[in-house]
Each structure stands twice: as structure tokens, then as C-alpha cells.
């Protein structure tokens, strides 16, 4: 008996047992009523929890601005392998990219070179996101459900009344999200949110000032955009997508100072809970996919999408050889490296890696070198 005959026989057994042919189980589920009351042959939903992306804010952590708040002074650590330096690079994308430039004309070139071009071996300046948060996130709860508001008439003499839908399909109101992060050595999660919230409160009290470009456009510089991507079981295709604009409002720094001598090590900060005030929620809106890709491309110009005339064509960096797309078997080698792109046509979450880095692992595995070792 060949494979085709085997499949036909199995399908016949399912059909005779009342479950319907297993080869068209999904079609049966949609097409007709299960009048025999047998269980469905369609497997349960097994979507993967997927990915959570936090975009970098645009705080002004330039040297002279940080001096106005002494509790932020540890961020001025110039060691590119230090955690405070990495936190500063995460939160101040302007300085991390060396774009401080002409916004402050009274700063000498030597000061600009020393303090305002933040270089961290832990942070990729071409990435739009904060991998530290996405990699350590354990739970994120509080997303609002879609609710159809109603209007009900007053009752008549026979207590008759009726209701109609009277609401808006979009979610524009604010809500709170609670994120739990698995803390790691050196307690970087607490330091990141402590610095983030302290900066927010400092500009509110006029102790620190935002970048002039943010003031000119009347923009909030401390927001992050949170993207939630629910994936298929193979983590290849995007099944659902959501996004919101938020900023942190709590930092559990006080818990780290609790004292308990009955435990051998401090456990209060093993997990860090952070509350975000979020504004609006978009669920499964196709434009969110385009916005996600544009944010990635804004940080890394090599991730610019394909030409309008050929939307299924290669990305810009792929055309000029700067970026390479690893296949399924190569993705493990380039883990922790790469830039995401959601293909609008197939909804595949594609990953692109710098070609130099992509080739680096092949030579490193023979020479014993560390791929992408900080230069």
C-alpha cells in the first residue's frame, strides 16, 4: 500500500466513525452542521506567543543635560562595555547615532566627540528596538477587549425598551499595561526604567530639557511604541498584530532595598514589574504592518522596502548586497542578529542580517574567533 492509498484508508476510517474525512476536516467544520455530535477533527489553536518589540524613546541624555540631574550621572560612563553606557545608548538614540551635531552650537568639537557620541558594544544603533526588554519580557497584560457600546431607551408603560449599538470601532482611550521582566545580572532592567522615569519627571519639573527638535515639533520624547506579533507554531508567519503608544509610570526600585536575611541571595528584583500608561490600541490593522516596516527602515536605511513598482521585490539592502536573508537552517547561527521585516503579501516575518556578519560565523566556526566581536 502506497502513501496515497494509506491516506485514503485513514480518511475512510474517520468518515465512517462520524468525524468526517480528516483530509477536509477544516472544510467540514465550516461547511455543515455536526448533527451526530462527535468531536471536531480540527486540531486546537496552537498560535505561538510570538514577539514583543519596544521602540527606543528619544530622551535627551547629552552630557550637559545629564549634569542637571545628578542621579543620572552614572549614565555618563564612557566604557562601551558598561551597563550604564548601554542604557544611555538605548534611551538616547540621537547621541547613540552621533547626531547631536548642530543642535547645540556652543559645544566644542572635543566635547561633542567625547560625550555626545555614545558608543556601546551592547547596543546596535541601527536597530529601532530595545532587545533587552523584548528578550526578558515574561508577561504583558492589560490589552483592552473590543466592546460595542450600546444605547438603551427608557421603558414604556409596558416596560418595553430596546437597545442599539452606539459606539466607535477604534480604541482611542488610555489604559494601563503591566509588564513583567526577568531580571539578569547587573540589574539592567531596574536601571533602565529608573533612568527613563527619572528623566520624564525631570523634564516635567524643568530640571532637564528635551532635544530642541522635540520642542520645536511639540512632541513627547519619552514614548515607546509596543508591537505585539502573534506567530504561527513555526514562528514564521504573523497571525495577529497589535500596537500601542506607551510610556512607563512605575519602577520597582524600592523593592531592591528590602531586607531579608533568611534567604541566601536577594530575590526581590528577580522579576521586575513595570506599569505602562498606553494610549490607543490597534488590532490587526494592515497599516500597522507598514508602520512596523517603516520604523525598522527609519533606524536602518538598508531596510527600506522594495520599490513601489515591485512590492514583492528585494529590500534595498538586499539589492546592494549589504544585507542577507538566512534560510531556515541558518537562522540559529545568526540568532541575536538581524532586522525584522513583515512581508505585506505573505505575512512572513523575515530576518535580514548584515552580510559581513552573516559570513563571519562561517569563518569563525573554523578559526575559533567570536563572530561580531566588538571592534
The 10s digit of each residue's pLDDT in 295-304 is: 999 999 999 9
Pair (263, 343) in one structural domain: no
Pair (279, 313) in one structural domain: no
Pair (20, 93) in one structural domain: no
165 falls within a domain: no
* Residues sharing a CB contact under 8 Å with residue 260, sequence separation 6 or more, in sequence order: 267
Pair (129, 251) in one structural domain: yes
Distance CA 240, CA 49 (A): 10
Query: Domain range spanning residue 9?
Result: 3-44
* Residues sharing a CB contact under 8 Å with residue 194, sequence separation 6 or more, in sequence order: 251, 253
Distance CA 179, CA 133 (A): 10
Among the residues of 178-285, which ranges form H helices? 188-204, 212-216
161 falls within a domain: no
Distance CA 354, CA 360 (A): 10
pLDDT in tens, 311-334: 778 888 998 889 999 888 888 888
144 falls within a domain: no
163 falls within a domain: no
344 falls within a domain: yes
Q: What is the pLDDT of residue 331?
A: 83
Q: Which of 268, 299, 330 is the last residue of a domain?
A: 299
Distance CA 30, CA 26 (A): 6
Q: Name the grid cell of 6.
A: 494509506
Pair (282, 232) in one structural domain: yes
Pair (246, 371) in one structural domain: no
Q: What is the pLDDT of residue 71?
A: 93
Q: Residue 324 in 3-state DSSP? A: strand
Q: What is the pLDDT of residue 102?
A: 39
Q: What is the pLDDT of residue 327?
A: 86
- Give phi and psi for 272, each to the nearest 5: -110, 120
> Could you give the number of structural domains in the chain?
3
Pair (209, 355) in one structural domain: no
For the entire predicted model, the pTM comes to 0.85
Pair (339, 196) in one structural domain: no
145 falls within a domain: no
202 falls within a domain: yes
Distance CA 171, CA 77 (A): 42
Whether residue 193 contacts residue 274, with contact meaning beta carbons closer than 8 Å, is answered with yes
Q: What is the pLDDT of residue 104?
A: 41
Q: Which of 239, 264, 299 is the last residue of a domain?
A: 299
Pair (179, 287) in one structural domain: yes
Positions of the chain with pLDDT under 70: 1-3, 5-24, 37, 98-116, 265-268, 361-375
Pair (327, 293) in one structural domain: no
Whether residue 314 contacts residue 285, with contact meaning beta carbons closer than 8 Å, is answered with no
How far does CA 146 lie from the centroid of its chain?
22
Q: Which of 299, 334, 357 is the last residue of a domain?
A: 299
Q: Which H helix or E strand runs over 366?
A: helix 355-367
187 forms beta bridges with: none
240 falls within a domain: yes
Pair (105, 187) in one structural domain: yes
Whether residue 62 contacts residue 114, with contact meaning beta carbons closer than 8 Å, is answered with no
Q: Residue 234 in 3-state DSSP? A: coil
Pair (343, 313) in one structural domain: yes
Whether residue 93 contacts residue 61, with contact meaning beta carbons closer than 8 Å, is answered with no
Amino acid at each position: 500500500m502506497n502513501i496515497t492509498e494509506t491516506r485514503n484508508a485513514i480518511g475512510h476510517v474517520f468518515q465512517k466513525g462520524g468525524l468526517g474525512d480528516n483530509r477536509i476536516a477544516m472544510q467540514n467544520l465550516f461547511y455543515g452542521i455536526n448533527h451526530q455530535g462527535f468531536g471536531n477533527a480540527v486540531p486546537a489553536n496552537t498560535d505561538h506567543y510570538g514577539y514583543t518589540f519596544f521602540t527606543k524613546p528619544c530622551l535627551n541624555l547629552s552630557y550637559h543635560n545629564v549634569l542637571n540631574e545628578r542621579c543620572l550621572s552614572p549614565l555618563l560612563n564612557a566604557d562601551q562595555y558598561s551597563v550604564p553606557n548601554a542604557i544611555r545608548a538605548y534611551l538616547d538614540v540621537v547621541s547613540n547615532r552621533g547626531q547631536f551635531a548642530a543642535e547645540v552650537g556652543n559645544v566644542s568639537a572635543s566635547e561633542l566627540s567625547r560625550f555626545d557620541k555614545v558608543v556601546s558594544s551592547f547596543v546596535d544603533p541601527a536597530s529601532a528596538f530595545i532587545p533587552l526588554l523584548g528578550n526578558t519580557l515574561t508577561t504583558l497584560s492589560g490589552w483592552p477587549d473590543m466592546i460595542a457600546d450600546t444605547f438603551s431607551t427608557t421603558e414604556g408603560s409596558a416596560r418595553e425598551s430596546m437597545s442599539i449599538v452606539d459606539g466607535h470601532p477604534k480604541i482611542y482611550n488610555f489604559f494601563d499595561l503591566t509588564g513583567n521582566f526577568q531580571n539578569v545580572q547587573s540589574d539592567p532592567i531596574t536601571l533602565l526604567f529608573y533612568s527613563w522615569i527619572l528623566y520624564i519627571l525631570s523634564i516635567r519639573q524643568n530640571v532637564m530639557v528635551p532635544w530642541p527638535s522635540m520642542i520645536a515639533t511639540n512632541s513627547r520624547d519619552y514614548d515607546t511604541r509596543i508591537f505585539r506579533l502573534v506567530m504561527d507554531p513555526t514562528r514564521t508567519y504573523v497571525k495577529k498584530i497589535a500596537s500601542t503608544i506607551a510610556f512607563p509610570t512605575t519602577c520597582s526600585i524600592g523593592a531592591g532595598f528590602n531586607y531579608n536575611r533568611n534567604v541566601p541571595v536577594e530575590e526581590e528584583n528577580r522579576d521586575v514589574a513595570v506599569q505602562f500608561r498606553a494610549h490607543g490600541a490597534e488590532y490587526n490593522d494592515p497599516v500597522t504592518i507598514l508602520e512596523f516596516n517603516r520604523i525598522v527602515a527609519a533606524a536602518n536605511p538598508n531596510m527600506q522596502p522594495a520599490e513601489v513598482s515591485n512590492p514583492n521585490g528585494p529590500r534595498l539592502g538586499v539589492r546592494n548586497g549589504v544585507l542577507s536573508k538566512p534560510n531556515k537552517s541558518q537562522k540559529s547561527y545568526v540568532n541575536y542578529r538581524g532586522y525584522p521585516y513583515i512581508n505585506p503579501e505573505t505575512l512572513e516575518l523575515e530576518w535580514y542580517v548584515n552580510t559581513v556578519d552573516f559570513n563571519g560565523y562561517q569563518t569563525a566556526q573554523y578559526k575559533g574567533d567570536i563572530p561580531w566581536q566588538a571592534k
